[in-house]
Amino acid sequence: MTRGLTAKTVEALKPQDKRYEVRDSAVPGLVLRINSDGTKTWSVVVSRAGRRQRVSLGRYPALSLKDARFVASERKVSVIKTFGTPEPVC
C-alpha cells in the first residue's frame, strides 16, 4: 500500500495478524514495516544491477518520518554516486 504519510498516520498505524508494509508516496522506496507485535521499522528499497536491496534505516519512533525521509534520500544518493542511476522502484 502506498500512501502520503504524515506523522499522525504513522502513529495511527496498528499491528495486524501478519506483518505489513506501507510505502511513502513522497520518497519512492521508503517503506514502513509494521510487525504483528507493533514494532515499526523504516527501510529503503533500492535497485542495483537489476536486483532490489532493502536497507534498514531504524525503528519508529526513534527515527521520525521526517528523519526517515532524509536518511532514505541520502542512502539513495549514495547508491547513485556509487552505481549510477538506480532503476525505478515500484
Q: For the chain, which residues make up each domain, given as ranges?
A: 2-80
Produce one character per residue of 54-85: b if its CB has 16 or more CB atoms within 10 Å, e if not.
ebebeebeebebeebbebbbebbeebeeeeee
Which amino acid does the sequence have at 26? A
Contact 10, 60 (CB under 8 A): yes
**With left for phi above 0 and alpha for psi between -120 and 50, is residue 49 left, alpha or beta?**
left
pLDDT for 36:
98
Global pTM reads 0.84
Residue 62 DSSP one-character state: T
- The 10s digit of each residue's pLDDT in 17-76 is 999 999 999 999 999 999 999 999 999 998 877 788 899 999 999 999 999 999 999 988
Q: What CATH architecture does domain 2-80 belong to?
A: 2-Layer Sandwich (3.30)
